[in-house]
Structure 1
Amino acid sequence: MPNRSTLISYLVLFFFLVLFILGINLGEVDSVFEKGVAICLSCIGIG
């Protein structure tokens, strides 16, 4: 039987993966990419 900290680590990893897959399925990748491009362009004075 794994100790308590190992179990918590696996639960956190599982929770992260669920949220990661959910974000990909909801199309958040495009949203994050568009915002990142807009921020970078405004930082260098183009946007």
Structure 2
Amino acid sequence: MKGKLIRIGLLFTGAAFIIMGTYRGEVGKVFNKAIRICLECIGIG
């Protein structure tokens, strides 16, 4: 029972952080960094 509560708590905590990051506009920042890193890895950037 305790393990199940911990899993549920971590699930809600993770969802809350995702929602907070979305509202702060961090999705675009992360996406741009991912594109930049991928382009550097294949030698284009």
Percent identical pairs in the alignment equals: 44
Superposition TM-score, scaled by structure 1 size: 0.86
Matched, 1:24 2:22: yes
Root-mean-square deviation over aligned CA pairs: 0.8
Within 5 Å, which residues of 2 pair with 1:1-47?
Answer: 3-47=1-45
2: distance between equivalents of 1:44 and 1:7?
43
For structure 1, the 5+ residue unaligned runs are none
Superposition TM-score, scaled by structure 2 size: 0.89
Matched residue count: 45
For structure 2, the 5+ residue unaligned runs are none
Name segments (4+ residues, structure 1) moved above 6 Å: none
